[in-house]
Structure 1
């Protein structure tokens, strides 16, 4: 683990929880305590960090059993197999108070983080095999769901469907910043659609593509862009200008060896995107059409499988989740300190390894949208059915 002047003692404390070598941890903790003992920022940060549950929801499985009983749902398969209910996917509301968890691939349970209790359950017999969920940026109570049967659009407890021909088996969805457009990709008809949600009408943006789409995502600052990562013999990323819908605005098609995912800068006017592919990272300046930075993630094997990449709302921390086959710690999360202005910079802070059990691995992660000004809250869902919350504190 390398040190950086932008990281406080609490951030290292959160990372060191996962290290088994106590001698190494104690030495680093002692050094950091001396380094930051006079930092007034800790007076604010410590109460905030202590107020965050270590694992949330701590009674997720017990609560899910109660919901199943209340709705007379058949839980015999889960009970007989001895497997726990799995939080395979989750998303924060724009306000950051609520988190929606996909449980058993077809039910969405929304929890209140502040009250630490269940708030709402969204379930329909038509909604199954959920692949993607996204809250509408302008409405915390509207949730779009990409699933095997199409696109479900929840408005509180009311369910609406966005339908277009054979646009089912929806793998990816993404809202525009103003919430007026919804992009979706279907693995059945191989189309990328752009939905005007006010009219419930769709425009075919990419028709019957024969190459696999990795991710569809709107940019959030500066000019709006839609990112599409796809492959023929190799993966490459394509960026569309959503003002004129000109394809391949990123003219230098950087080719990569495996599936890629994108994270956008949400904080300032810099149109910067970070793209991860296996164990390699690329930083792109979209407006200037240039590559700012590229790096291999150190000490990660070439056969590592990319799971997720997220950038915190202040653009100061980037987390990259990798699945490492046949290793003691199957999941590795590389944590970077980043800055976009005046020049782009990225430094590896350390690793989050999670539980030692080889049967428990991370599935996805996300930063809370409305974290405090002196830190960010990283949430990680684990295969045993829990969400781990890790506070990261920034120095001024």
Structure 2
């Protein structure tokens, strides 16, 4: 059974979707489509660990016969193997009444709890301690923890697709080849994001638990694995949730949900300018607009910022509840659409408008499924992507298995027109989506399914009567 595209008759006041028929279309592939990579990721779903990472690590502390593992021995071991943050957290989780804790131990623990209380005010969601939980909480990828495909990234100018998999490997496919370049390193754990450097054919930024891994992937090295000499590490004190290049490829922005600093890297000299803020906490999502003069930054709190990149001044925007979940810029760089984590609403911010409030452009309130009475369609947005021409929009939802497809018009005002719905094969769920930036024949949507299958969907195959 192949993926199905469901034709839609109407979009009822942006509140519900309806359909009367299924549309099955056989596509005669163009030369451009035949050059797309064929990808199917076969990554087994590993069972969840039964113990926290600290407890598992303690089992490997070298001890002598009849030697007792003291509180401080455990603390120093975790400090050496995992860092000071995890070591103090181990200390805070222990029942000191059952341990041989002295006054110094109790004093250090008291100070740590005080610092954590202050941090909980200045950096929301800092209680989400592990990088895995933090990334899973704010990721655009549906079911990030279990999905075989954790991120997709098309190169902005070349026919290259980077795929991050659940085992912390990045596979780089060039053209229609089925043999990828395998990008892997021991420091590249818990991959959260990928971004190709514009105006450069070979550099790929990988956001992960230890910072940003900046790889130089030789276009001629098909079927090989780049060595450590091809890797530049851009360190962060906490796990990175998001990376984004400016359109000229000069600066790389990176952010963490647990770090209130926004990092603007000059990758040529490996130096970062830190933009500080208090309100909203860290950074969960960054996206540069196509003209390079604005950088939209989502936070774990109920605010997001739009930085003006010439002076690095920022406008603060509030969401009613929750945090900004996903956002995308129009080609002109003056409009941004976004959805939050609490309401099934699509909003628009227009920098050219005199009003200082976001407008509602769509209501995705959950409704009955298009095909099965027991299924639902719509609801809270998991991710949305807008094609570079501003003519196509794709949305995946947190609790629905469908991909909603829209035609869009962004000038003079933003308008959405439903044009179809995609559903995968049996038991498949769309987990991540990306548009190919330089597709000549309209728009090409790449969908990563929960089975590990990657599908390329050209919008040109939609029925002509759905044209607006």
Same fold (TM over 0.5): yes
- What's 1:128 paired with? 189
The answer to whether the 8 Å contact 1:153/1:161 transfers is yes
Whole-Å separation in 2 of the counterparts to 1:193 and 1:117: 36
Match runs of 1:6-155 below 5 Å: 15-16=5-6, 24-25=20-21, 46-48=28-30, 51-52=33-34, 56-58=38-40, 60-61=41-42, 86-112=148-174, 114-155=175-216
On the 8 A contact 1:184/1:192 being kept in 2, the answer is yes
Shift of 1:107: 0.8
Aligned to 1:160: 232
Q: Please state whether the residue corresponding to 1:56 is helix, strand or coil.
A: coil
The match for 1:190 among 255, 260, 265 is 260
After superposition, the Cα gap between the structure-2 partners of 1:53 and 1:200, relative to the gap in structure 1 and judged at 3 Å, is closer
User: What CA distance in whole angstroms lies between the structure 2 residues aligned with 1:93 and 1:177?
Assistant: 12
Question: Which whole-Å CA distance do the structure 2 matches of 1:224 and 1:179 have between them?
Answer: 13
CA shift at 1:219, angstroms?
1.0
Per the alignment, residue 311 of structure 1 pairs with 386
- What's the secondary structure of 1:169's corresponding residue? coil
8 A contact 2:377–2:402 mirrored in 1:
no
Question: For residues 240-251 of structure 1, what are the structure 2 equivalents within 5 Å?
Answer: 240-248=307-315
* Structure 2 counterpart SS, 1:121: strand
Structure 2 residue aligned with 1:297:
364
2:307 and 2:274 map into 1 onto residues whose CA distance is 14
Q: Which has the larger radius of gyration?
A: 2
Residues 108-147 of structure 1: CA deviation (Å, up to 9, x unaligned): 11112x3232231111111111111100011121000110
- Structure 1: 5+ residue stretches without partners: 1-12, 34-41, 65-74, 79-83, 325-329
Contact persistence 1:261–1:309 (CA under 8 A): yes
Which residues in structure 2 correspond to 1:232-243 (within 5 Å)?
232=301, 235-243=302-310
TM-score with structure 2 setting the length = 0.63
Q: Which residue is 1:68 aligned to?
A: none
Match of 1:337 among 407, 413, 417: 407
What is the RMSD computed on CA atoms of the aligned residues?
3.5
Determine if contact 1:323/1:332 at 8 Å carries over to the other structure.
Answer: no
**Partner of residue 276, structure 1:** 339
Higher share in strand? 1
Deviations 1:340-369 (A, max 9, x none): 224432222232232341xx3222100011
Which moved further from structure 2: 307-316 or 116-125?
A: 116-125
Please, what TM-score do these two structures have when normalized by structure 1? 0.73
Gaps of 5+ in 2: 9-18, 48-145, 218-225, 368-375
